[in-house]
Amino acid sequence: MRVCVATHSFRHLGMDQALATIPTSVAVEISTCAGHLSSENIDKLPPIKHHIAAMSGGWCDFVRGSVPPWTHTQARVCAKRGMRLRLFLTNPKDEAPNTESNIDSGLRTLYMFAAAHPSTTICIENHGGMTARPHMMQHIVSMLRSHGCTNIYTTLDIGNYYLCGVSLPEIFSMLDFRTVGHVHAKDYTDGDWCALGDGVLSGVWAHVIDRLRFYNYGGYVSLECEGKTTDSNRQMEKGIQFLSNMGVL
């Protein structure tokens, strides 16, 4: 289990400045959703000194049958470079109603996308709406895997679950951690995101890391420093130290 830093933590900076801020000894989750990588140039990544652990693919609305052409390009680039692709099941800015029909529609579209890119590890993030509860995330992954899409995983975001009122026992009881392919790490206090370890989730992360280790999770824990403050550098440094203290290096 290793640490990486999401470049969208530095959305107030340009791509070059964001990468210059992140130590080269730390891997990165490169982001298209913060304007750091244009949709048209995804297949022309500039030389980057960091190891790229994952690509944050931005909005995608499988429920409405909408898969932008650049999402297919993202999948091809990730397969070529050995990166994981983090996507949303729906567009959180235009959330479709949580109905059985919409869920089935989203599953069909996601199935066709995953089948078209069997060499890409696709990690669907819990991001509100129909992915707000861990049992729904597990249903989505299990259904697709039962139909042969073994490249579908979850992006586990404890902070997003917290905002949806999901407790840690519910996550542990409902989510099969063997299907976790990527992890987002952040903390929350006073109505805003904060440095990992400074908020209400500080006591939760040791249990999460232990559970991931129990199931031999070998992927990345990706720091997201998304508070309104522009002091993302301090949040990143504190987050890296917080995870290092738990043996995630």
Residue 129's pLDDT is what?
A: 78
What's the number of domains the chain is made of? 1
- From 29, 27, 36, 23, select the one nearest 6 (Cα to Cα): 29
Distance from C-alpha of 102 to C-alpha of 156, rounded to nearest angstrom: 22
Classify residue 170: in a domain, yes or no. Answer: yes
Please report, for the domain that includes residue 140, its CATH number: 3.20.20.150
What is the domain range of residue 215?
Answer: 2-244
Classify residue 127: in a domain, yes or no. Answer: yes
Q: Where are the beta strands (DSSP E) in 107-197?
A: 121-125, 152-157, 180-185, 187-189, 192-194
Classify residue 94: in a domain, yes or no. Answer: yes
Q: Let me know: does 196 contact 243? Beta carbons within 8 Å.
A: yes
Residue 103's pLDDT is what?
A: 74
Residues (pLDDT < 70) of the chain are: 33-44, 58, 91-100, 229-230
Classify residue 249: in a domain, yes or no. Answer: no
> What is the pairing mode between strands 2-6 and 180-185?
unpaired
Question: What digits encode the pLDDT tens for the residues 188-235?
Answer: 999 999 999 999 999 999 999 999 999 999 999 999 998 776 688 999
